[in-house]
Amino acid sequence: MEYLRLGTSGLVVSRLCLGMMSYGTPVARDWILDEDAAAPIVRQAIESGVTFFDTADMYSGGVSELVTGRLLAKLFPRRDDYVLTTKVYYPMGAGPNDKGLSRKHILAAIDASLDRLGVDHVDLYQIHRWDNETPIEETMHALNDVVAAGKARYLGASSMFAWQFAKAQQVAEAHGWTKFVSMQNHYNLVYREEEREMIPLCLDQGVGIIPWSPLARGLLAGTRERGGGPTTARSGADPIADAMYTDDDFEVVDAVRIVAAARALPPAQIALAWLLGRPGVTAPIIGATKMKHLADAIAATRIRLSEDEVATLQAPYRPHAVLGHH
């Protein structure tokens, strides 16, 4: 496993980040694994060198954080041996202050997350989305206080417009507050709109990129067919994917299959290898509910695509409307 600094920060992470959204309670989604089922996969990821783990308070209504905390405590000898992230923004209760990026919610949410995770700090605390109802000055001040209190070591952000991210960074810099060191954005072979503004901004500012949905919710791995036909439990019960990707995206899927067939490799490995080779990408966030998913991701870190293969993969791309900001 290769290890890189997250952007220009001093934080070192593994080349892959294991997304813990897949672990929690099947009550939330049929395809989510409970703790016992998740344990072998997480153990194998650790034995393969993965040290970077991403969750969020809202995954499985908090159960993902509980499972994540218990598994990592069992499988790592020391807290400092792994990098743990979680997120804040989405509703965690029915009250008007149980969501968003207000000072009240951020300070309550970090304490609740730490309690569920069973740790005294997270390494990276991320805002899950942009909050249009809270002044960014209030959000950045509260996040800085989280870091100052020792409850988070670094700050990160997730999908938003580049101007919003630039504004947040400028507000933090102007006040001497902690800035974001990472951007967790929606980026894969069938959705490359981030290459227009967000990724150039991150490259210019030394912000690490940790893309979510690197396989387009399984589309690039072959879990769907034209016309919407699913081939897995998740692809058959994923309305988000149904709304985000269409049959037009199968031109890219076909290109992935061509390159994969020429190498006698699974399509997932080729799609991940492309993403790992993109400028600024530190660690794609991979979901794994089967050992094969993990094996494909690890194998992808060793693949180097030729210029001709990259050209073949990128040629069918079509522009998209903004996807994933809400």
Residue 324 within any structural domain of the chain: no
The pLDDT profile of the chain, 326 residues, written as one tens digit per residue, is 999 999 999 999 999 999 999 999 998 888 999 999 999 999 999 999 999 999 999 999 999 999 999 999 999 999 999 999 999 999 999 999 999 999 999 999 999 999 999 999 999 999 999 999 999 999 999 999 999 999 999 999 999 999 999 999 999 999 999 999 999 999 999 999 999 999 999 999 999 999 999 999 899 998 878 776 555 555 455 567 667 888 889 999 999 999 999 999 999 999 999 999 999 999 999 999 999 999 999 999 999 999 999 999 999 999 999 999 98
CATH of the domain at 175: 3.20.20.100
The reply to whether 59 belongs to the active site is yes
- C-beta atoms surrounding 261 within 10 Å: 11
Query: What is the gyration radius of the CA atoms in the chain, in angstroms?
Result: 19
Residue 325 within any structural domain of the chain: no
In the three-class reduction of DSSP (H, G, I as helix; E, B as strand; rest coil), residue 214 is classed as: coil
How many independent structural domains does the chain possess? 1
Question: Among the options 23, 59, 125, 187, which is catalytic?
Answer: 59
- Are the beta carbons of 6 and 305 closer than 8 angstroms? no
Residue 283 within any structural domain of the chain: yes
Q: Which domain holds residue 264?
A: 3-314
Measure the CA–CA gap between 95 and 93, rounded to whole angstroms.
6
Provide CB contacts within 8 A for 21, sequence distance 6+: 32, 54, 55, 56, 59, 60, 64, 287
Nearest of 114, 124, 87, 86 to residue 9 by alpha carbon: 124
Q: Provide the Cα torsion 274, 279, 283, 284; round to 10°.
A: -40
* Predicted pLDDT at 235: 47
- Are the beta carbons of 282 and 154 closer than 8 angstroms? no
